Chains A and B, each alone.
Chain A
Amino acid sequence: MLLVVAVSLTGCDAGQILDTISKVASGVAEAIPKVREVINSVGNAIQSTNNTAENETPANNGNAEQNAPNNAAVRITSAGDDEDIGAGTTGIGQPSEAVSAPSPSTGVTARIASSIRSLIGSTRFRGADVDGGNLACAKVVSTALVNAGVLNRVRLNCDDVVADLRAAGWRSVRVPPYQEGDVVTWTTSRGPGRHIGVIVRQGNSFQAVSNSSSARTPRVHSINYMPITQVLRKV
């Protein structure tokens, strides 16, 4: 189980934020059993400094953490599974294992695309196992792949989905060109390969469908909206 500690800050300058990161990280590393105490003390400090920042727009742009009131509160949540497992991803600048020309959607790729499309806008990925939709990307993609007959189990972390695909014969490919049904992972603030989606096609526009932490639902977006870690394809 992943214990997620979210410190929400608003109206702080860079120094305060970096200082807070350092304090929280240090406290957690040194005293895991006392982590709540550490966090709460940091949160109180932030609260006191933040009291001077008035009239900031309580904007929410995206994250479950930000759904908390804009008062620099400390929020502790628990996700059902650890998405921060392992490595083994291929950077976009590294040699891929295969180069494959794009081809029209076949039965399998069309099924994958259709399956992931059917999940867009769904509110079913907001359970406690995915932190209310904040960490649902692997579940969304593996659900689509299971429904398409590609995988046989739903996974809650990206590396497990990638491992299952590799076991099923999928390999990293160079992009472009893109192909519908490709599975793509991105590098996020949490590291490489920490977000996953499926490429879909509309006309000659290749986009991706993945879970959105902010909207807490799968949505369509540019493939290059974040740095790509790798693209997997059945070759």
Chain B
Amino acid sequence: MRKIVPVLTGLLLLGFGNQAAADWQLTFGRESGQVGVTVPANAEDLPVGPSSFRGVGQDLWVLDSVKGRVICLDGSGNIKKEVVLPKLKPEFILSDFALQTGQNNEVTGVVALDMMAREIVVANGEGVELRRIAADGLIQLDEIDIDSKGQIYVGDYASAKIAVYSAAGKLLRTFPWQASGFCVDENDNLHMLDYSEALGHSLVTLSASGAEIARQTVGMVDMQNPRIWQVGPDGERLVSFVAPAGDPTQQTLIMFAAAGEVVGKTVFTSPYYINRYLACAAGKFWLVRADYSNPFEVPIKVEPVSISR
């Protein structure tokens, strides 16, 4: 049977609407302070909108994946800064970004992953390209972070490893990773998770030089899909899990103290289509709620997450 399917691929644009206190709401538009979304109508793929959100101080930073830039919204929802990622190729897929911060949370550098080109784009806080690193040897560029000295970490789900690059762009080393998130703390230590059938989950800390400096077993063998999101200045680590049963979109968010014990917990429903949907900063946490498949009806909302202690 022959079918004829009309297909529309539209580049839609987002704008920022009214703010609730300490929250952000993003709606579609096309002005300079707006972000984009692409809704495929005849592809297997997902709609693409802002793929990654991060918090710095009281600000929300958004990877505007369609327009190829990063924007910063202040606590009132006003656009505080725009960093246009330089020299992107005609086809790009921006999967994640990270921010290098200096004193008083000043953003001094932006790194982003172009999954299509398999390149790491490194720019200063004004969007001037410092370098472009070809991630040879990696298959997919999925997650990125950067420490205070500019050392870059890139996670690859396909090869299940993290690659470490110097601030100058030289590949320093790679090491195994179970695709369970990672983050860099203010002391430039890398935090990730490790799972074994015998022990369950462990919180692992590596120094900037790659040496393992701490490992705390937390068990929780019945949980799946761990992901570490943030390490606070006091060593608290925020980790999400998928519970053993129930709604597959529902996750349990657990705060582990520096010593490894559970000090807080909550449950949330993760959104579709977004890579980094929890933003963390200054002891606060925000969850992104959005439906890029229905951009005219559903705005992006960034809402605070309360963790019961």
Q: Which residues of A contact B (CB under 8 A)?
A: 1-14, 17-18, 20-21, 24-25, 27-28, 32, 35, 39, 53, 56-67, 70, 82, 84, 92, 102, 104, 117, 120-121, 134-137, 174-178, 188-190, 194-195, 202-207, 210-215, 219-228
Q: Using a CB–CB distance below 8 Å, which chain B residues touch chain A?
A: 1-12, 28, 30, 36, 38-48, 65-68, 88, 90-94, 115-116, 139-140, 142, 157-158, 160, 178-180, 193-195, 197, 201, 223-227, 242-246, 248-249, 270, 272-273, 275, 293, 296
Question: Is A11's CB under 8 angstroms from B224's CB?
Answer: no
Q: In the complex, A225→B46 CA distance in Å?
A: 8
Chain B nearest CB, measured from A33 CB (Å): 10
Contact of B224 among A2, A17, A206 (CB under 8 A): A206
Residues of B within 8 A of A228 (CB): 248
For the complex formed, measure the closest distance between the CB of B35 and the CB atoms of chain A, giving whole angstroms: 11
Chain A residues in 8 Å Cβ range of B116: 60, 214-215
Q: Considering the chains assembled together, what is the distance between the CA atoms of A226 and B30 in angstroms?
A: 26
Do the beta carbons of A221 and B48 come within 8 Å of each other? no
Output the nearest chain B residue to A134 by Cβ-Cβ distance: B43
**A121 neighbours in B (Cβ, 8 Å):** 139-140, 158
CB<8 Å pairs between A and B, sample of 6? A56-B11, A104-B197, A135-B44, A190-B41, A213-B45, A228-B248
CA distance A92 to B250 in the complex (A): 13
Nearest A residue (CB) for B293: A189
Q: Are B224 and A178 in contact (CB under 8 A)?
A: yes
Q: Which residues in A have their C-beta under 8 angstroms from that of B6? A: 5, 7, 21, 24-25, 27-28, 39
**How far, in whole Å, are A176 and B42 apart by their CA atoms in the complex?**
29
Contact indicator B45/A63 (Cβ below 8 Å): yes
Q: Known contacts A9-B10, A204-B180; can you find 5 more A-B pairs with CB under 8 A?
A: A5-B5, A28-B4, A59-B67, A63-B43, A228-B248
**Is there an interface contact between B28 and A14, defined as CB atoms closer than 8 Å?**
yes
Could you tell me the distance in whole angstroms from the C-beta of B294 to the nearest C-beta in chain A? 10
